[in-house]
Amino acid sequence: MKRRTGSPPPKLKKKITKNEPKPERFSVIPTPKIFVVGCILSIFGAMGLAHLVVKPKINAECFDLGEPIALEGVLKVNDLITNAEILLEDQVFGPESLAINSKNGLLYTGLKTGLICEIDASLKNPRILRAVRLTSVENCDGSYSQMDKCGRPLGMRFNEHGELLVVDAYLGLYAINWDDEKTVKILGAGELPINDENAPPIRYLNDFDFLPDGRIVLSESSTKFDDRDDLRVLKDGLYFPNGVQVVVEKGVGKNDPIRVFYSEMGLARIMTIWVPNDPYSKSPIRTKVLIDNLPGYPDNIRLTQKGSQLLVPIPAQRTKDDRFLEKLPRVREYVTKIFSPQLFNWLAQSLSNSNGLVLKINIETGSISQSYHDSTGKFQGITSAIDEGNGYMLLGNDENYWVARVKI
C-alpha cells in the first residue's frame, strides 16, 4: 500500500530475542586505564610548563670524566669495613668530619643538629663528654629547614694552641677553646672579602687546613647556594671542592711554595695546588692533578700518621648512569627545575652505590696503594676517615647515626 505524501512513516516493531544483549548505560566513572593515562598526561603537562617557565638553578655543562680507575692490581681489602666496631650508635646524627686532640686523645665531631661533641672513644662504652653549639637556637632536629639557623659544622682541626677550629656551612669559621668553654667567630658567613669587592660573599665553607705560618686554606663548595680578612682566591671555577690537606715537607725553603691537596668532588679527582709562602705574593698559582677518574666522589681527605698517604673516603661510587648524565647538561638543568634540592639529594643518594669505600693514595705518585670495602651495605656514605694510630682508622658519615673504628 502506498504511503500518503507528508504522513509519518509507519512504526516498525523491533523484535528482541533472548540472546541479544540489552543496550549499555553510559558510565561517567573512569576506568583505571583512563585514570592512569590522565595522570601521566597531567604530569607531562606540568613538566612541560616547568620547562618553559621555571629557570634552572644551575648552568650545567657537558663533560666526560672517563672510565673510573679499575682497582685491579690494588691491594684490595674486601669487607674490612663490614667488620668495623660501631661507636656511639644512635647517639650521633651525621658526624661528617672527625678530629682527634693529640694532647688528650679525645675525639671531636660535628652533628647535623649543629652540636659539636667531645667524645671519649677510649672507653669500653664510648660516650659524649661535652657538646657546644655555635648559635643560641634550641630544639634543633637536624632537618634542612633548620640548618640555616642551627648551623651545620663540617671540617674541623686543632691548631697549635689546642683550640678546635670548625667551619660551619651556614655560619662561617669558628674557634672553640674547650678549657675555657669559649667560642669565637673568625669569619662570618655572608661577609664580603675586603680585598676583592667583586667576589661573592661566603656561602658554603666545607673544609680547611693550616699552613706552617698559621694561615688557613679553605675550600668553599658553592658561592651560589649556601670576614675574609686579606683573603686571596687561589683557584676558582672548581666543581664542588671539598677536603683540604696541607703537606709540610722537610727541606722546603721559606720562599718555596707549600704543597696542598684538595678533593674536587664533582670531577672525581684529587688536585695539588702550590700556595705561595709569601702571603702578599701575586705570582701565578700552579696546580696539578694528583689522581683523577676515581671510582667515586671524594670527600674529606686526611694524611695517615706517617704522612706519606692520603686517606680518601668515597661516600658515593660512580655508575654508568652518572657518565650518561654527564653528557646531558640540559637534562641536569631540568631536574633542578622540578625537584627541590632536598628531594634531588635524596633521589641521588637512593640511586647511587654508597657502600663503604676508603682509598689510600700515595701523595708522591698519585697511585692507589690500598682500598677498603664494605660490600654488604652495612656502612654507607663514609665522608671521613682518619688514622687514629696503633693500626686503627675512625670513620664518620654525613647521614647516619654512628662513628666506627676499623682495625687495619
Measured CA to CA, the distance from residue 91 to residue 401 in angstroms comes to 7
140 has pLDDT over 90: yes
Q: What is the pLDDT of residue 358?
A: 97
**Alpha-carbon gap, residue 110 to 133, rounded angstroms:** 9
Contact call for residues 255 and 278 (beta carbons, < 8 A): yes
pLDDT digits (tens, 9 = 90+) for 1-37: 444 445 454 444 444 445 555 555 545 555 666 666 6
Count of beta carbons in the 10 Å neighbourhood of residue 298? 27
pLDDT in tens, 254-299: 788 999 999 999 899 999 999 998 888 888 999 999 999 999 999 9
pLDDT greater than 90 at residue 246: yes
* Span 107-129, average pLDDT: 95
Residue 25 in grid coordinates: 548505560
Q: Are 90 and 108 in contact (CB under 8 A)?
A: no
The upper half-sphere exposure of residue 86, i.e. CA atoms within 13 Å in the direction of its Cβ, equals 13
Residue type, 178: W
**186, 168 Cβ separation under 8 angstroms:** no
Gap between the Cα atoms of 391 and 119, Å rounded: 20
C-alpha cell at 211: 699552613
pLDDT at 12: 43
Which pLDDT score, from 0 to 100, does residue 16 have? 44
